[in-house]
Amino acid sequence: MSLLTIAWSFCASVCLMLGSIHLLFWLRNRKQPVYLLSSLMAFSAGVSAMLELGLLFTESLYSYRILMRWENVAVFMILVPMVWFIQAYFGTARRWLAMTITLLWVLGLLINFLSPHSLTFIEVSELQHLTTPWGEVFTIPLGTTNPWKLLVDIASLLILVYVGDASVRLWRQGGQRTANVIGGGIMFFVLLAGIHTPLVDAGIIATPYMISFAYLAIIVSMSYQLADDAMRSAQYAQELQQSQQAVERLARANLLGELTSTLAHELNQPLSAILSNAQAGRRLLASKSAPLAEIGDILDDIVRDDQRAADIIQRLRKLLQAGEPVREPLDINAVLQETISLLNGEFSQQQVSPILAFGKGLPDVLAGRTEIQQVVINLISNALNALRDMPVDRRQLVISTTRQHDMVRVMVRDNGMGIAEEDLPRIFEAFFTRKSDGLGMGLAIARRIVEAYGGRIVAESTPAGGATFTVILPVAPGEQEAGDA
Amino acid sequence: MPDKSTRIFIIDDDHSVRTSLARLLGAAGYATEVFACAEDYLARERFDGVACLILDVRMPGSSGLELQDTLNELGSDLPILFLSGHGDIPMSVKAIKGGAVNFLTKPVREEVLLSAVKQALSQHRLNRERHDSMENVRASMATLTSREQEVMRFILSGARNRQIATHLGITEKTVKAHRAKIMGKMGVSSAVELGRVCTLLEITPNTITDD
């Protein structure tokens, strides 16, 4: 097998492979034109390598002219995307230079097709055969150089200036690495190709054209840089996820902080009753004829209030439970009831009596109790906030549950100030808030939680004023058939 | 034995809390009545005796502070003891400004509660007495004829009988008779005492100017 064939075929296949990889990157992320441009460049370099291989072994003048013409098209298709790649990727390149280079090459391409033979030669008169040191015979042309080729030689010089200028500016802005790898790479290899090719054209040195190798080197340096970018962004994504988790923990602590005063109030009630009852009992016992029946009642009440305090602490403990949420079949009505009683203090402070409309015989949903409670607390606390400016007697908060096929819907509706139309699409975004002291994480976390359980959360502005939040959770497997009423 | 003429009204939305407070105050010898909300209390017929109100600040429906406003508008002189779950300073300031006699924090200790109740009741009793004596003076005033009232205002200014007689164009004897009637009806024995009673009602003396 010919070494020349192997070398050029190898170059072509590497170019095509890199081109495919860059194309895949672009398809995954179409907002990044750099991948499309570098992919175009790589494919063109691959085509160029194959054309060069053809030029090495062609025996007829006619096909040599055609191949030469198309080789110029391939070079155009390498250089122009490269120039615009620099434009897009560096962000420091001069646009007018890019335009000028493109224009020069478009002109060059026109001449390429209008000239009798190609942009390179006015006339290819003869094919010369040379022998490599290892004894392979290949073809080089002899002919008259096209004076219009000066256009694209100027373009090559401009590319050097353009890339050099953009790299220096990028370097100054702190992008030393990119400036070195891509800018330096391009300049070095364009220079190399720019010196080598005219020398071959002019018949001064007798080697094959090696344009594609120079651009392969450039494409490899680009790929290196782009792969590095991709790895970095994966790392950033991971870091972002970690900080998101931290923010979620923070938001949960924040929510609990808000609940502290209402919980203090909740605990105070039974404690207060226990104290007064005990003191009353002591007084009654000290009297001459202690009313034993009443003292019995007092003790019963003390036991009941003690239980009540213990329940509050139990619920709080469940809500505070750390660690991974456990998916378990949940009776959504029971979870809601528990959450609402946790918020009793909040309701009485805001003077809102929630209307509960729970569907009967709802199937269980598969979710984490604590997380669902967190979502519900968030929605209720938002609703209470929205009702703050309403007259007390008009404040309305409805919490309802219904079944919808194999989903369970939880709806929290208030008639408060509602959500502005333009805010609706953004309301679940992280850090989006209209509260002066809000983190903007509550609804973002709520959505993440609900979606993690295969559900959805929807916000609507109620026409009559107010907002409705609907959480839709899938029924736990094995529950679908049960109670399909 | 609970004193029937005094009453303590307890308003708290929490059944346990209001029952236990009623028990404690009952065991301490007070007559109590409990209500679950402000509206229930307002629906009750007005109590005439000495009383005080123990009121939870946080309640669904109309809150403790709102009830205080309503009672102030109705001209109630009932002392209010506020009970709050957590010592919320702005809330207590508002309550005290609204005329609350005390602001107690739940859970409230027996001694604190009982002394606060005692203080509130004695304050109400004092208010009542002052109010009653004012009412008496006002009632006595109403029994005076217009001539007697006219004469009384001259007496309050320190005018002598003769001056009054001259000024009104009546005999000194008639003025003396008026004076005796006034003293009798107002239940006082001297002009000084009359002056003290009338200051309470803010009756202005009428000075005779020499012309």
3-state secondary structure A442-484: HHHHHHHHHHHCCCEEEEEECCCCCEEEEEEEEECCCCCCCCC
Distance of CA B118 to the CA centre of its chain: 16
Beta-carbon contacts of A122 under 8 Å, excluding residues fewer than 6 positions away, are: A115, A116, A143, A144, A145, A146, A147
Q: Domain segments of chain B: what residues?
A: 6-129, 144-201
Mean per-residue pLDDT for A464-471? 88
Beta-carbon contacts of B43 under 8 Å, excluding residues fewer than 6 positions away, are: none
Question: Which CATH number applies to B144-201?
Answer: 1.10.10.10
**Closest-CA residue to A65 (of A109, A15, A115):** A115
Distances in whole angstroms, Cα of residue B121 to Cα of each of A277, B20, B54, B111, B112? 22, 20, 12, 15, 14
DSSP for B143-186 reads HS-HHHHHHHHHHHTT--HHHHHHHHTS-HHHHHHHHHHHHHHH
Q: How many CB atoms lie within 10 A of CB A75?
A: 28
pLDDT tens-digit map of A378-434: 899 889 888 888 888 888 899 999 998 889 999 999 988 888 888 878 888 777 777
Confidence of residue A483 (pLDDT cuts 50, 70, 90): very low
Q: How far is Cα A45 from Cα A113, in angstroms, rounded to an integer?
A: 20
Highest-confidence segment of A115-119, A398-402, A459-463, B187-191: A398-402
Q: Is residue A126 classed as helix, strand or coil in its secondary structure?
A: strand
Rg (alpha carbons) of chain A, rounded to whole number:
38
pLDDT value for A123? 80
Min Cα separation A347/chain B (Å): 7
Question: Which CATH number applies to B6-129?
Answer: 3.40.50.2300
Confidence of residue B49 (pLDDT cuts 50, 70, 90): confident
pLDDT value for A168? 92
The pair of structure tokens assigned to A246 is 């931290």
Paired residues of A468 in beta bridges: A413, A460
Is B102's pLDDT higher than 70? yes
Nearest to B13 among A261, A287, A348 (CB): A348
3-state helix, strand, coil in chain B (%, to 5): 55, 10, 30
Please give the model's pTM, rounded to 2 decimal places: 0.51
pLDDT value for A481? 53
> Which of A51-55, A116-120, B207-211 is the least confident region?
B207-211
Task: Give ∠ CA A241-A246-A250 in degrees, rounded to 5.
Answer: 145
pLDDT value for B147? 86
Q: Is residue A24 classed as helix, strand or coil in its secondary structure?
A: helix
pLDDT tens-digit map of A211-226: 788 888 888 888 888 8
Percentage of chain A surpassing pLDDT 70? 93
Confidence of residue A323 (pLDDT cuts 50, 70, 90): low
Domains in chain A, CATH or no CATH each? 3-240 (1.20.1070), 324-485 (3.30.565.10)
The packing angle between helices B161-168 and B172-186, to 10°, is 110
* Nearest residue of B to residue A271, measured between CA atoms: B107
Mean pLDDT for all residues in chain B: 83
pLDDT value for A100? 94
User: Beta strand pairing status for B6-11 and B32-35?
Assistant: parallel
Min Cα separation B131/chain A (Å): 34
pLDDT value for A485? 42
Nearest to B60 among A272, A287, A347 (CB): A347
Confidence of residue B154 (pLDDT cuts 50, 70, 90): confident
Is A252's pLDDT higher than 90? no
Confidence of residue A479 (pLDDT cuts 50, 70, 90): low
Q: How far is Cα B42 from Cα B40, in angstroms, rounded to an integer?
A: 6
Q: Which residue has tokens 């967190």?
A: A374
Cβ contact, residue pair B26, A280, below 8 Å = yes
Cβ contact, residue pair A280, B58, below 8 Å = no
- Is the CB of A274 inside 8 Å of chain B's CB atoms? yes
Confidence of residue A1 (pLDDT cuts 50, 70, 90): low
- Is the CB of B60 inside 8 Å of chain A's CB atoms? yes
* Nearest residue of A to residue B28, measured between CA atoms: A283
- Is the CB of A353 inside 8 Å of chain B's CB atoms? yes
pLDDT value for A423? 82
Min Cα separation B146/chain A (Å): 52
pLDDT value for A167? 92
pLDDT value for B151? 87
